[in-house]
């Protein structure tokens, strides 16, 4: 790539020197020091051939750049909507590239074909309504189709999540993520209140809400393959951004303004490892909004499990209240009987994977 940049720099330098030289000669002509017709024809022919060579080398360089960059393209889409957005992207790129190639090919060809010729007289051609209608309507139709398909895809992505969607809350903070799952009993996330945040209750779980009793947290994100997943996204301090590159998920986490994104994972972690030939491969959730000094390390591991494996993993997790029975005192009297079933008869050793999120200090 550096070689190509260097080569293009040399070419453009030579072209710049050539243009300056032509400008000096033109200045002489304006001063009355005329060149011979044969010299002018030679210059015109040289410039015309230069246009064709520039088009040729530019086309070769563009194709080479595309092929050379393919390994750095986005990886295979591992979600249902990701396949659609990838398809829409490449269709748009094909249309734009085709139009760019045709118009620039004609531009350079016309510069060559219709260079100055003393034996040819230009035709006065002020207007052609039919031609103008054609080159206005066709691009308008193509653009309308692209915009409509893009709007339809975005409408589907931002539509209401299916009723069977697994709800997971992602909360960004400097510099890590808190992941909260609805519990095994009600499959609903309980309320949170930032005023309730303390050294242990990092999310501010509100135990006046009975739906909070079975909620559990984790330091990794588990997703069921083939099942819709609704991510409820929050931020505690500054602007963050949830990014799952393989799943084509990206949504800002904004303090004071919850956002959401739902999608359906289609490729499990084991399947992607087999596709890539990497036994140690794992999906990642990264932050793509520069949020401070530790931004670079703000990532957690993502596992896409088969539905049965996901259910097994969820069933093995312990609610926050079970791991921290002292919070039973925060439960209203009329709900303590319901909450008590989550309190173990004997204290349980704290499991950092169930109560904390990975963060970079």
3-state secondary structure 336-349: HHHHHCCCCCCCCC
Alpha carbon 336 to chain centroid, angstroms: 45
pLDDT at residue 257, rounded to an integer: 93
pLDDT at residue 355, rounded to an integer: 43
Burial of residue 163, with CB atoms counted within 10 A of its CB: 0-12 exposed, 13-18 middle, 19 or more buried: exposed
pLDDT at residue 348, rounded to an integer: 60
pLDDT at residue 223, rounded to an integer: 96
**Helix and strand totals (H; E) in the chain:** 9, 10
Segments in the chain below pLDDT 70: 1-8, 13, 16, 19-41, 345-361
CA angle 310, 314, 315 (to 5 degrees): 115
Helix/strand/coil for 172 = strand
51 Cβ contact list (under 8 Å, min separation 6): 108, 111, 112
Rounded distance between C-alpha atoms, residue 84 and residue 30, angstroms:
60
Nearest CA-CA partner of 265 in 316, 313, 230: 230
Each domain of the chain, given as residue ranges in start order, spans 166-340
pTM: 0.76
Rounded distance between C-alpha atoms, residue 98 and residue 108, angstroms:
16
Name 229's bridge partners. Answer: 166, 263
CATH 2.40.37.10 fits 166-340, yes or no: no
pLDDT at residue 270, rounded to an integer: 94
218 Cβ contact list (under 8 Å, min separation 6): 179, 181, 317, 353, 354, 357
Residue pair 323/355 in contact by the 8 Å Cβ criterion: yes
pLDDT tens per residue across span 280-335: 999 999 999 999 999 998 999 999 999 999 999 999 999 999 999 999 989 998 88
Cis amide prior to 21 (ω within 30 degrees): no
């Amino acid at each position: 790539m550096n070689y190509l940049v260097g080569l293009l720099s040399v070419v453009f330098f030579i072209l710049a020197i050539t243009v300056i030289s032509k400008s000096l000669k033109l200045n002489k002509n304006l001063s009355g020091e005329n060149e011979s017709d044969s010299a002018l024809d030679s210059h015109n022919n040289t410039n015309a051939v230069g246009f064709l060579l520039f088009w040729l080398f530019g086309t070769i360089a563009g194709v080479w750049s595309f092929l050379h960059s393919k390994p750095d393209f986005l990886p295979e889409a591992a979600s249902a909507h990701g396949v659609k957005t990838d398809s829409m992207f490449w269709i748009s790129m094909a249309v734009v590239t085709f139009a760019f190639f045709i118009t620039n090919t004609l531009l350079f060809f016309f510069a060559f074909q219709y260079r100055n010729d003393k034996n040819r007289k230009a035709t006065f051609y002020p207007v052609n309504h039919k031609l103008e209608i054609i080159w206005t309507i066709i691009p308008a139709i193509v653009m309308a189709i692209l915009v409509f398909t893009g709007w339809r895809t975005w409408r589907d992505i931002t539509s209401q999540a299916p009723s069977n969607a697994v709800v997971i809350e992602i909360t960004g903070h400097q510099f890590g993520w808190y992941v909260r799952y609805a519990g095994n009993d009600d499959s609903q996330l309980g309320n949170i209140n930032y005023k309730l945040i303390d050294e242990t209750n990092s999310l501010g779980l509100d135990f006046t809400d009975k739906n909070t009793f079975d909620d559990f947290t984790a330091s990794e994100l588990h997703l069921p393959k083939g099942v819709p997943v609704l991510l409820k996204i929050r931020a505690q301090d500054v602007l963050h951004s949830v990014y799952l590159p393989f799943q084509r998920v990206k949504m800002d986490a904004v303090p004071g303004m919850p956002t959401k994104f739902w999608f359906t994972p289609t490729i499990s972690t084991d399947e992607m490892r087999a596709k890539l030939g990497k036994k140690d491969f794992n999906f990642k959730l990264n932050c793509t909004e520069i949020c401070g000094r530790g931004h670079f390390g703000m990532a957690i591991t993502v596992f896409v499990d088969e539905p049965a494996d996901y259910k097994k993993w969820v069933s093995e997790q312990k609610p926050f209240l079970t791991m921290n029975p002292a919070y039973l005192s925060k439960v209203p009297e009329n709900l303590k009987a319901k909450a008590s079933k989550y309190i173990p008869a004997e204290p349980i050793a704290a499991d950092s994977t169930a109560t904390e999120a990975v963060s970079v200090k």
